[in-house]
Amino acid sequence: MTHLWEIKHPYYCNEGNFYKNGPDVHTVYASWGDFFEDWGTADEDWNAVFRWDWKRADPDDYEPGDEPPADQLCVYWVLQRKAILRSTACNVTEADEPAVRAWLTTRAEHTRRLWVPLLDAPAEAA
């Protein structure tokens, strides 16, 4: 199984919101536990996750002896009830991966339910 930090999405997503700045649209947490305390059971309809990135610094970008920053999980949200685009980030460790994967999987399953009528339908000929 591929580790979450090994997955590279084909495009990036900016943190926050282009139209508004501040903690209302991007929140940083010191740990997975702190993040999960605030967002772990957030309603999936009101707080839809549309993307995530496990960011790991490239050690080649640092001088010998310099410590690269901690891995970070960025989660990108649409708060559908109020049409708010926002993001969160938290420091993560490899030991957090099973919990992170389980939580992301529930969010992915929710998103899939929104698209299932198209995903399970045979493609129409053009």
Q: How many angstroms separate the Cα of 42 from the Cα of each of 7, 92, 117, 121?
A: 25, 19, 25, 30
pLDDT tens digits, one per residue of 90-109: 999 999 999 999 999 999 99
The SS3 of residue 27 is: strand
| Residue-range domain boundaries for the chain | 16-117
| Tokens coding 12 | 């990036």
pLDDT tens digits, one per residue of 49-73: 999 999 999 888 898 888 889 999 9
Confidence (pTM): 0.89
